[in-house]
Structure 1
Amino acid sequence: MIPKFEVWIIIQKPVTEVFNAVYDNKKINSYFVTKQASAPLKEGETVQWEFADFPGAFSVKSKQVIQDKLIVFEWPNPAGGWNSVEFHFESLNAQETKVKVIETGWADSDEGISASYGNCMGWSQMICAMKAYLEYGINLRKGAYKALAGA
């Protein structure tokens, strides 16, 4: 079995606002990236995302951006390869947006499956945190993850 997952949520905000919450580093720094996202996810550019709960920065290579529709990027996986992450944005009406996250690229191994479960949990938490931030101005990740020992 090649690990792959998809998670989604409906957010009570217009699609442009939800799209920008992922694309804009200032926005994503407010509810998901616990240290710093270095720049917006401009197509063709590589940015750095750094989290308090994982040591070091992650390179995020923006591959495709379609305003209010799609963001595709690659980032490293634990086995040394690159995973593909897709954010799909669907406007349900003027005040509701469905956002879906799909990640692929793990090795077909026990380690790959285990890592995919961890990322599935992470993206599920991310979209819930985005909903709380956009709808209520709450940062669910603040204080939720402490720096790892030695990080």
Structure 2
Amino acid sequence: NSTYGTGGMLSKLTATKMAVSLGIPVVITGKEDSLENIKEGKTTGTFFKPSKPLKQSKKLFAMMEEPKGVVYIDEGAYRALKDGKSLLPAGIKRVEGSFNRGQVVVLYTQDGLLAGKGKTNFSSEELKKVLGKKGEEVKRILKTNKEEAIHRDNLVVF
């Protein structure tokens, strides 16, 4: 807490980013605002309009499943995700935690910006073997026909 009321602001903004990407409107305001004022649009706080709603299945895993690990991605990968592409191992810089195929991980940029959440096609150990690698090399090393670390259908980008 401070004189200027910035205590926990990073947490508030991270939660706001996640909520609006899931189609949920958010108001950050001071204690002087009542819920009635906010519902009537008379808030003195800041209103964050939600993004287009996600498919129900994406909302469910984004909100309900606890992440089992963290994957750090480069800026090129983040731009690709924002354009609706899948996450490829070529854009992964670091993997933390221990997770299996099909488990949820949280994605961060190298700068620590929350980028998204997704269900992995590979375990943490498999991903560590193919960090920065491209398509055919990933398939050869992991003896699989998949090259996406996280397919776009199993990904929520914040």
- Alignment TM-score > 0.5, same fold: no
Q: TM-score, normalised by structure 1?
A: 0.25
The structure carrying a bigger strand percent of its residues is 1
Ranked by relative contact order (alpha carbons within 8 Å, sequence separation 6 or more), the top structure is 1
Q: TM-score, normalised by structure 2?
A: 0.24
Query: Which of structures 1 and 2 has the bigger CA Rg?
Result: 2
The structure carrying a bigger helix percent of its residues is 2
